[in-house]
C-alpha cells in the first residue's frame, strides 16, 4: 500500500553523508524551531544534543568502519544501509536509543507532543507501516502530527525510509498483535476482521413501496488483550414516525490468524442480540470475517454469518458478503470506491427466494488528515425479490485510539 515498502541494500556511507549534509545545510529541518527553546535551558539542551550527536556519529562511524574492514573485499566499497545504525543517529535523539524516551528524561520538556513509545506492542502494531513511511518521509504535519517530527525526504531514499520503518516496527518483543496494515476499511454489510477501538454511527434509510423507515445504530468497539474486541450496539428504529430503541447487541471478536507477507487476516466472533419489543426473540449471530490485500490498489473482505434465533429457528438465516475496495491514494485522506455483494438464505424461505442477493456500491471517505475520522456511504439495491426497494447507508467512524474526534484534521 505504501510507495516502496520493499527494502533493498543501499550504501550506508552514502546515506550518512547525505544525512550529515542535510543537517549542515538546514539545521532547522532536523531540529525544527520549536525544538530550539531560547534561554539557558534551550542552550544547554542544544549543547547536550550536539554532544550526543557527535558521540553517536563516532559510534556509527565505528560501525561503518568495522563493516568496511570486516566485510569481504567485494562489498567493501558498498557497505549496505544499516537501519539500526542510522536510527541511532537520525531518530534516537528524539525517539530514544531503545525506541522510547525514558520517563523523566529532561528532553521530554522540549516536545509539544511527546513521541509515542515505539516499544509499546499495541501502539506499534496498530499503526500501519505505510502511515509511518509517510510520516518519516514527509514529516509529522503530513499526517497532522507535530511539526517537531521532521521530514526525511531529502536525507533518505524511499528504500532507506522503508528499512528505517521496518526497524522501528520490530522494537516490541511481543509479536502477538495483528499488524495495522491488515486493518482494512469498514464495509457496510461485510464484517471487518481487524479488532478496533472505534465508535461508529450507522444510519440506514429503507424505502418500501414509497414508505420510508430509519434504523440508526451506535456501536462501540473496544480492543481487549492482544487480539480480541468487545462490541456494544444500540439500535434505534423509526417507522411511521414512531421511534423506539429496538435492540441491544453484545459482541466478541477474536483475530484467529494473520500473515503480513501474505496480507491476510481471519477473525471469528459472535454477537448476542436482545430485542426490546415484547414478541421478539433473542438471537445469536456467529460469524467468520476475512481480510486480504490483493495488490497495492485493491483489498478484498468477506464474511459469513448466521442469525440463529433462540426460539423459532425457522426465522433465522445464513448470510455471505464480500467487498472489494479500490485504494486510490496512499494517504489516509481520500475517496475510496468499493463494490459489495451480499447473499442471504433464509432457513425457511417459504414461497420467497431461496437466496436473496443485494449489491451495495459505496464510497469510503477518509475525512481527517490522520485518517482517524471516516465516512462510508452506499446504496443497497436488491437484485432478487426482497422486502424493500432500496436502502441508503451512511456510517461515521471515529477511531478513538488515534486521538479525539476534533484533533488531527
Ligand atoms: C527532532 C526530533 C525528531 C527526530 C530527529 C525524529 N522524530 Fe519521529 N517524531 C518526533 C515527534 C515529536 C513525534 C510525535 C509527533 C506527534 O505525536 O504529534 C514523532 C513521531 C514519529 C512517528 C509517528 C508515530 C505516531 O504517533 O504514529 C514516526 C513513525 C516517527 N516519528 C519516525 C521517526 C524516524 C524513523 C526517525 C528517524 C529517521 C524520526 N522519527 C526522527 C520527533 C522526531
DSSP string, 51-106: HHHHHHHHHHHHHHHHHHHHS-GGGTTSPBP-HHHHHHHHTHHHH-TTSSPPTT-G
User: Is 2 contained in some domain?
Assistant: no
- The last residue of a domain, from among 169, 202, 225: 169
Look-up: residue for cell 525510509?
Answer: 161
Number of domains in the chain: 2
Please indicate whether residue 322, judged by its CB atom, sits closer than 6 Å to ligand 1: no
Residues 101 and 205 occupy one common structural domain: no
Residues 221 and 329 occupy one common structural domain: yes
User: Is 4 contained in some domain?
Assistant: no
What ligand 1 atom has the least distance to the C-alpha of 167?
35
CB 379 within 8 A of CB 391: yes
Please indicate whether residue 15, judged by its CB atom, sits closer than 6 Å to ligand 1: no
DSSP summary character for residue 178: P
* 369 CA distance to ligand 1 middle (Å): 17
Residues 93 and 202 occupy one common structural domain: no
Residues 158 and 243 occupy one common structural domain: no
By most ligand atoms within 8 Å of CB, the mutation choice from 139, 149, 409 for ligand 1 is 149
CATH of the domain at 322: 2.40.160.40
Please indicate whether residue 31, judged by its CB atom, sits closer than 6 Å to ligand 1: yes
Residues 266 and 367 occupy one common structural domain: yes
Residues 206 and 74 occupy one common structural domain: no
| pTM score of the predicted model | 0.79
Please indicate whether residue 125, judged by its CB atom, sits closer than 6 Å to ligand 1: no
| Torsion, CA 56, CA 122, CA 107, CA 32, rounded to 10 | 80
- Residue range 178-220, pLDDT digits in tens: 999 999 999 999 999 999 999 999 999 999 888 899 999 999 9
> Which range, of 49-53, 140-144, 223-227, 289-293, averages the lowest pLDDT?
49-53
From residue 349, alpha-carbon distances to 323, 352, 353 in Å are: 25, 5, 6
- Residue range 50-74, pLDDT digits in tens: 444 544 454 445 444 444 444 444 4
User: Is 218 contained in some domain?
Assistant: yes
Please indicate whether residue 160, judged by its CB atom, sits closer than 6 Å to ligand 1: no
What ligand 1 atom has the least distance to the C-alpha of 86?
38
pLDDT, residue 175, reads: 85
- Residue range 310-332, pLDDT digits in tens: 988 888 999 999 999 999 999 98
Please indicate whether residue 116, judged by its CB atom, sits closer than 6 Å to ligand 1: yes
pLDDT, residue 39, reads: 36
Parent domain of 125: 12-169
179: helix, strand or coil: coil
* 361 CA distance to ligand 1 middle (Å): 38
Residues 107 and 162 occupy one common structural domain: yes
Buried-state track 371-402, b at ≥16 Cβ within 10 A, e below 16 = bbbbebbbebebeeebeeeebebbbbbbbbeb
User: Is 106 contained in some domain?
Assistant: yes
Share of the chain above pLDDT 70, in %: 81
Give the closest residue (by CA) to ligand 1 atom 2: 94
What ligand 1 atom has the least distance to the C-alpha of 111?
12
* 289 CA distance to ligand 1 middle (Å): 34
What ligand 1 atom has the least distance to the C-alpha of 30?
1
User: Is 6 contained in some domain?
Assistant: no
Amino acid at each position: 500500500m505504501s510507495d516502496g515498502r520493499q527494502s533493498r541494500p543501499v550504501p550506508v556511507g552514502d546515506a550518512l553523508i547525505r544525512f550529515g549534509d542535510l543537517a549542515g545545510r538546514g539545521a532547522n529541518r532536523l531540529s525544527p524551531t520549536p525544538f530550539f527553546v531560547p534561554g539557558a535551558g534551550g542552550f544547554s539542551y542544544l549543547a547536550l544534543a550536539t554532544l550526543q550527536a557527535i558521540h553517536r556519529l563516532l559510534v556509527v562511524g565505528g560501525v561503518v568502519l568495522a563493516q568496511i574492514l570486516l566485510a569481504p573485499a567485494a562489498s567493501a566499497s558498498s557497505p549496505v544501509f544499516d537501519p539500526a545504525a542510522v536510527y541511532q543517529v537520525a531518530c534516537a535523539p528524539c525517539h530514544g536509543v531503545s525506541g522510547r524516551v525514558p520517563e523523566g528524561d529532561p528532553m521530554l520538556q522540549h516536545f509539544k507532543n511527546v513521541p509515542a513509545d515505539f516499544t509499546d506492542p499495541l501502539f506499534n502494531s496498530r499503526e500501519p507501516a505505510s502511515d509511518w513511511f509517510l510520516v518519516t518521509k514527509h514529516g509529522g504535519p503530513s499526517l497532522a502530527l507535530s511539526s517537531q517530527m521532521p521530514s526525511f525526504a531529502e536525507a533518505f531514499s524511499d528504500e532507506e525510509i522503508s528499512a528505517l520503518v521496518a526497524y522501528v516496527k520490530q522494537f516490541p518483543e511481543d509479536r502477538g498483535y495483528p499488524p495495522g496494515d491488515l486493518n482494512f476499511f469498514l464495509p457496510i454489510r461485510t464484517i471487518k476482521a481487524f479488532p478496533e477501538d472505534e465508535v461508529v454511527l450507522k444510519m440506514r434509510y429503507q424505502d418500501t413501496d414509497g414508505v420510508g423507515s430509519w434504523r440508526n445504530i451506535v456501536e462501540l468497539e473496544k480492543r481487549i488483550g492482544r487480539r480480541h474486541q468487545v462490541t456494544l450496539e444500540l439500535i434505534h428504529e423509526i417507522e411511521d414516525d414512531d421511534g423506539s430503541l429496538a435492540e441491544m447487541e453484545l459482541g466478541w471478536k477474536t483475530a484467529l490468524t494473520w500473515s503480513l507477507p501474505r496480507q491476510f487476516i481471519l477473525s471469528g466472533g459472535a454477537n448476542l442480540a436482545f430485542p426490546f419489543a415484547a414478541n421478539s426473540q433473542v438471537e445469536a449471530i456467529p460469524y467468520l470475517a476475512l481480510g486480504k490485500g490483493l495488490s497495492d490498489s485493491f483489498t478484498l473482505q468477506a464474511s459469513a454469518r448466521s442469525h440463529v434465533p433462540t426460539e423459532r429457528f425457522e426465522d433465522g438465516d445464513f448470510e455471505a458478503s464480500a467487498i472489494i475496495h479500490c485504494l486510490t491514494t496512499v494517504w489516509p485522506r481520500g475517496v475510496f470506491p468499493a463494490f459489495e455483494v451480499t447473499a442471504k438464505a433464509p432457513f425457511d424461505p417459504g414461497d420467497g427466494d431461496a437466496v436473496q442477493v443485494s449489491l451495495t456500491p459505496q464510497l469510503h471517505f477518509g475525512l481527517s488528515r490522520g485518517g482517524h475520522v471516516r465516512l462510508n456511504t452506499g446504496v443497497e439495491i436488491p437484485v432478487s425479490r426482497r422486502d424493500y426497494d432500496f436502502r441508503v447507508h451512511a456510517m461515521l467512524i471515529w477511531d478513538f485510539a488515534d486521538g479525539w474526534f476534533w484533533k488531527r484534521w
